A and B are shown apart, each in its own frame.
Chain A
Amino acid sequence: MSAVVAETPRPTTPQTAQAGPPLIEVRNLKMHFTVSGGVFSGRKSVQIKAVDDVSFTIARGETLGLVGESGCGKTTTGRCILRLEQPTAGEILFEGQNLCTMGREALNEKRERMQVIFQDPFSSLNPRMKVGDIIGEPMMVHGIYPKQAERERRVAELLALCGLNPKFMDRYPHEMSGGQRQRVGIARALSLNPTFIICDEAVSALDVSIQAQVINLLEDLRDQFNLSYLFIAHDLSVVRHLCHRVAVMYLGKLVELADSDELFANPLHPYTQALLNAVPIPDPEIEKQRAHHVMKGEIPSPINPPSGCVFHPRCPLAVESCKQAVPQLRELKPGHWVACPRV
């Protein structure tokens, strides 16, 4: 196997070793926002590079974790894939077709198979709609099960699939707990038989005991329907548990990408190392023995990011050249990509 890998020409996009074309391929994605200055700053406008040259693939049935701290561009990347944002540059291939250049009708057809689950189950469900209508609405929009009776049967099926009593159809979101609401959000995402779901901090707002229930549900659904997930999260232990591969972002850049086991056992980028070190392990004995290297400084403003490698002001390995050259992703080991010249 390793011989085969060595002979294949090096791909420009970090890929899985899996055979067959990827379900999603993101190539050199850039999303720059223009922010106009206030009245007092002379209305100078500045560019924020929310996502800057990000590339990755997701295979069928695969879960890719996207981690990083607030403002690193992980949610914007997800929004670009769904084309809720029109990317500044780059390509997003879904089943081999570029979503960025696609017309509205063609895009709508693709969107049937791409869904999203949001973080906050309180604000992502319409409080004035019954659960049955919330789950049924995407089917109405896309003309699936146009007859009401059929649709209701499907809604009941989806509720049961997500571990809810079909009677919940007639309830309103406020009559349910956070965990139950998140299950409704999942049922809605599944209503159109998607192949790809973006989970944007989908379990972050839930209490630990409920979080485990929802994580198990996401795992079961993935196995049952061969779903691909882009799992956007900041909780690294959840990401490690659920994801096959993990991509780490910092200030709009992809800094490391590897198989989950490899990334957590052998993080190469200094930022990934600091991130993993900062996660406390729920075991006092282990915590006593662990060396804690607290990373200095804060995430710089994306309005005025550092030159060269954006991580250099906080990096323990940084040298003079890091201030100039923007590091490119390199494949240090098969499948393990790092954007740091110092490792």
Chain B
Amino acid sequence: MPVLLEIENLRTQFDTSDGVVRAVDGIAYTVDEGETVGIVGESGCGKSVGALSVLRLIPDPPGRIASGSIRFGGKDLLTLSDAQIREVRGAQISMVFQEPMTSLNPVLTIGQQLCEAMELHLKLTPDKARERAIELLDMVGISEPGRRLLQYPHHLSGGMRQRVMIALALSCEPKLIIADEPTTALDVTIQAQILELMKDLTKRFGVALIIITHNLGVVARYADRVNVMYAGKIVESGTAADIYHRPMHPYTLGLLRSIPRMDRPRGERLIPIDGQPPDLTREIEGCAYRPRCSFAVERCARETPPLQTVASGHTSACFEVAQLQGLLKEAS
């Protein structure tokens, strides 16, 4: 599949009273057409900021995209004018946010919100837009779509609102949808409904999807490829099978060991990752994960490990990949 989105050396920073926070510190990845890419990591690792940067939605000030390029459809999104980026947002790249209550406008009806984008981007007449809005609501599994168009977001449950968000994201036939923790605020049975819906619709329309989550299970079920982020950097990248069965970064391994799993015998003790994530206002020398890493060697304190290929399509930012490979061999 041809490459749809190509991010290189992206750095996004925030000025705070405690100093400059390097929220995203030199990430690079690609998304192919129609592909689902998962981005996992814990709070504050830069996964959301990295995605918001793609649409230039970083509030400036205090934030700014300090360097990098984001190539999408032959253009560098970072060099576009404000008017040009507005034509990309919502039309070619759309977003689904975590909290559907705050991301829908509470004083506009569902219909107004759906039609506004389509009249603007697709140049539809109000009647045509309304017709298509009904089709879209029906497609995302909302009953009585005609009546729903006249309702306000507070009339709907959390799951329904997230369905509206998905209809909105799909309305202008985008090539890419960025979903930032799309199901974190939802109950588990509703989460399953929403994720299955997103999977079906993105497959049906050939839309690429970036799914940002802290839930390793969600990524395992839905992502083709996975990027693991830690302290503003991508530390490992590979297919879902690579990441889950052949983790080549100590942080990925640590995450996988620290979650209780329903398919494993009960009573096994969890192996947590010791310590805390680093303070991103401070300059980090060497590998950011080193203080919590059981594989660390002296070199890790001095040099920052670059993302290197460990196998076809599988990269890791660790000097001690050999140790992990040995461990894996032992286990099998």
Do chains A and B stick together as partners?
A: yes
Residues of chain A touching chain B, judged by Cβ–Cβ distance below 8 Å, are: 69-70, 177-180, 207-213, 215-216, 219, 234, 236-238, 240-242, 260-261, 264, 274-287, 292, 294-295, 298-299
Task: Say how far B118's CB is from chain A's closest CB, in angstroms.
Answer: 27
Asked if B272 and A209 make an inter-chain contact with CB atoms under 8 angstroms apart, the answer reads yes
CA distance A159 to B186 in the complex (A): 34
In the complex, which residues of chain A have a beta carbon less than 8 angstroms from the beta carbon of B245?
283-285
A283 to B256, CA, bound (A): 10
Q: A236-B188, A275-B188, A282-B217 are in contact. Are A241 and B256 (CB under 8 A)?
A: no
Q: Does B255 contact A (CB under 8 A)?
A: yes
**A178-B43, A208-B42, A283-B263 given. 5 additional CB < 8 A pairs?**
A212-B273, A240-B260, A276-B262, A278-B188, A283-B244
Q: In the complex the two chains form, what is the Cα distance from A152 to B40 in whole Å?
A: 42
Range for the number of chain B residues in contact with chain A: 35 or more
> What residue in chain B is nearest A299 (Cβ atoms)?
B187
Whole-angstrom distance between the Cβ of B35 and the nearest chain A Cβ:
15
Q: CB-nearest residue of chain B relative to A287?
A: B221
- Residues of chain A lying within 8 A (CB to CB) of residue B217: 237, 279-282
* Interface positions of B (Cβ within 8 A of A): 42-43, 157, 159-160, 187-193, 196, 214-221, 240-241, 244-245, 254-256, 258-263, 266, 269-274, 276-277
Residues of B within 8 A of A69 (CB): 187-190
Nearest Cβ on chain A to B86's Cβ, whole angstroms: 35
B192 touches A292 (CB 8 A): yes
B192 in contact with A264 (CB, 8 Å): no
Closest to B190 in A: A298
A-B contact pairs, 14 of them (CB 8 A): A69-B188, A213-B272, A215-B272, A234-B188, A237-B259, A240-B262, A260-B266, A279-B188, A280-B217, A282-B220, A282-B259, A294-B193, A295-B192, A295-B193
Q: How far, in whole Å, are A264 and B35 apart by their CA atoms in the complex?
A: 34
User: Is there an interface contact between B273 and A281, defined as CB atoms closer than 8 Å?
Assistant: no
A278 and B191 contacting across the interface, CB-CB below 8 Å? yes
- With both chains docked as a complex, state the minimum distance between the C-beta of B116 and any C-beta of chain A, in angstroms: 27
Residues of the A chain whose Cβ atoms lie less than 8 Å from the Cβ of B241: 284-285
**Bound CA span A294–B200, Å:** 13
Most B-side CB within 10 Å, residue of A216, A274, A278, A292: A278
Question: In the complex, what residues of A have CB within 8 A of residue B259's CB?
Answer: 208, 211-212, 237, 282
B255's closest neighbor in chain A, by CB?
A: A208
- Would A216 and B216 count as touching, CB distance under 8 A? no
Residue numbers in B under 8 Å from A207 (CB-CB)? 42-43, 214, 277
Q: Which residues of B contact A277 (CB under 8 A)?
A: 192
Measured CB to CB, the closest approach of chain A to B228, in angstroms, equals 12
Q: Are B256 and A298 in contact (CB under 8 A)?
A: no
Complex interface: chain B residues within 8 A of A287 (CB): 220-221
Interface pair A177/B276, CB less than 8 Å apart: yes
Q: Which residues of B contact A281 (CB under 8 A)?
A: 217, 220-221, 261-263
The answer on a CB contact under 8 Å between A275 and B189 is yes
Contact partners of B269 in chain A: CB under 8 A:
216, 219
Flag if B255 contacts A209 (CB, 8 Å): yes
Residue of B217, B256, B272, B277 most packed against chain A (CB within 10 A): B272
Nearest 3 CB-CB pairs, A to B?
A280-B217, A212-B272, A241-B260
Are A280 and B221 neighbours in the complex by a CB distance under 8 Å? yes
Give the residue among B157, B216, B266 with the most A Cβ atoms within 10 A: B266
Known: A236-B262, A279-B262, A284-B244. A216 touches B220 (CB 8 A): no
If A208-B216, A285-B245 touch, whether A237 touches B191 (CB-CB below 8 Å) is no
Nearest Cβ in chain B — how far from A284, in angstroms? Answer: 4
Of all chain B residues, the one with the shortest Cβ separation from A264 is B262
> Nearest chain B CB to A72's CB is how many angstroms away?
9
- Expressed in whole angstroms, the minimum distance between the Cβ of B198 and any Cβ of chain A is 12
**Structural contact, B220 and A283, CB atoms closer than 8 A:** yes
What residues on B are CB-neighbors of A298 within 8 Å?
157, 159-160, 190
| B-side contacts of A216, CB under 8 Å | 269-270, 272
Alpha-carbon distance between A278 and B215 when the two chains are bound, in angstroms: 13
B220 touches A280 (CB 8 A): yes
Known pairs A208-B255, A212-B270; A237 contacts B189 (CB<8 A): no
Nearest Cβ distance between residue A180 and chain B, in whole angstroms? 8
**Distance, CA A208 to CA B272, complexed state (A):** 8
Per a CB cutoff under 8 Å, which of A208, A219, A261, A299 touches B258? A208
> In the assembly, what is the distance between CA of A250 and CA of B157, in Å?
17
CA distance A279 to B215 in the complex (A): 11
A287 to B222, CA, bound (A): 9
Which chain A residues lie closer than 8 Å to B221 at the CB level?
A: 280-281, 284, 287
User: Cα distance A213–B157 when bound, in Å?
Assistant: 34
Question: Which residue in B218, B240, B260, B277 is a CB contact (below 8 Å) of A237?
Answer: B260
